Amino acid sequence: MLTFHSASTRVVNSRRGISECMEIAMGDRSADADLLIIHASIGHNFNELIDQARQLSPNAQIVAASCCGVIGREGVSESMKDLALMSITGKEFVVAGTDNVYGQNSYEKCLEIAKQLKASGQDVNMIYFMASGIDIANDRCIAAFETIFGPEVTIFGATSSDNMKGFISYQAFGGKVYEHGAFAIGFSDPTLSIDTQATHGFVAVGEPLVVTKSTGHIIHELNHRPAWNEYLKRLGLPENANCGDSIPVGALGEELNDTLAAEYGNHHILRVVTKHDGDNMYYATECNVGTKLWLTIRDEDLIFREMKKMVDAMLKRSKGKKPVAVFHADCLARGRFLFNKIMKEELVSFMQHPFYANGSCPPWLGMYGFGEFAKLGGKNTYHNYTSALYVIYR
């Protein structure tokens, strides 16, 4: 039976930070850990993180991903030296990963991971997935896992990030650190169940951009003009702008049907652009010709209203049960990196306090990344610019 323990800290030295987190999470039982999941801001040395974690927990499998800040039981931190972990004891899980995952091979590479999980013989009922947030077709990743496990398996997790530049992100598994890797943890504890949901709070404005030429997840033309240049013009950004300039203000919305919009609290699901090559824009999912993309603006009041609505819905579905752990993926553009506008501590308290038991926050592992996986309309879905909660019950 799996048990969960979490901790987070802001420490400059990577080895010291891991040691502090393990002491907080496990006390003098660090050697008992069977699985460590680490989220660390881009300023940390990932090789040192993995090496120190291995010394403290020699029998544990260790995975890690870069982010733009963390959310834990201790609160929110968005610096270059943030660190958070979830330490898990128990044997009901399996880890698999692969390198060189890009948009054009996302399905094949994730199918490889899914087959590794299946070959373990464990009865996987939920999959925690982490991949690079740069140049990846996330809908194809979902399709690959569902090919092997069916649509009923719940996929949760995020895509790794840097400090919102879209330059580089890290994933670590099997003792190595990658820039375009992906890993998955298949949980098979039959006593556990998971509930997932996501919300954003951006509002579509103006007339849509129309995709007039694309290949898979790469958009070549918008409105019959070179895509990146047309996108920048619509945003009012100069021709020499990069993804670091566009990410804060450039959320693109795809229209949802009325049923999904009612559940989501919004008529659009958002997408981020984390890479461009000349005028080619690298979208987060495959994007067909004819797709209409709206520019959006952030609505602070809507963010809080929809967060409360989402948490209330999750609490209703819990039927009074308290979680044994919560995983959490948040878009970095909802934090202080977007104009320092939002009171993140207040928003996180909206998420955390309803799940407290006897005055204490459950083990909690959250990160600011480039994208989030959570169900919408009962289906595994990839999101951008959301807060996504993954609440695990026994």
DSSP per-residue string spanning 253-295:
EEEPPHHHHHHHTSSEEEE---EEETTEEE-SS---TT-EEEE
Per-residue pLDDT of 331-351, as tens digits, reads 866 654 444 445 567 778 788
The mean per-residue pLDDT over the stretch 128-150 comes to 98
Residue 239: pLDDT over 50: yes
- Of the pLDDT bands very low, low, confident and very high (cuts 50, 70, 90), residue 152 is very high
pLDDT at 340: 47
CB 4 within 8 A of CB 363: yes
Alpha carbons 210 and 256: distance in angstroms, whole number: 16
- Of the pLDDT bands very low, low, confident and very high (cuts 50, 70, 90), residue 64 is very high
Please give the mean pLDDT across all residues of the chain: 94
Per-residue pLDDT of 181-202, as tens digits, reads 999 999 999 999 999 999 999 9
As given in the structure block, the two tokens for residue 231 are: 């996108």
Indicate whether this model's pTM tops 0.75: yes
pLDDT at 115: 98
pLDDT at 165: 84
Q: Where are the alpha helices (DSSP H) in 94-166?
A: 106-119, 138-149
pLDDT at 344: 65
CA distances from 213 to 19, 24, 206, 383 (A): 51, 52, 21, 23
pLDDT at 333: 62
Determine how many CB atoms are found less than 10 A away from the CB of residue 300.
Answer: 12
Helix (H, G, I), strand (E, B) or coil at 98: strand
First to last CA, the chain: 10
pLDDT at 343: 56
Determine how many CB atoms are found less than 10 A away from the CB of residue 360.
Answer: 9
Residue 130: pLDDT over 50: yes
pLDDT at 347: 76
Alpha carbons 206 and 252: distance in angstroms, whole number: 12
pLDDT > 90 in the chain, percent: 88
* Chain mean position to CA 393: 20
Per-residue pLDDT of 1-52, as tens digits, reads 999 999 999 999 999 999 999 999 999 999 999 999 999 999 999 999 999 9
pLDDT > 70 in the chain, percent: 96
pLDDT at 301: 85
- Of the pLDDT bands very low, low, confident and very high (cuts 50, 70, 90), residue 87 is very high
CB 272 within 8 A of CB 371: yes
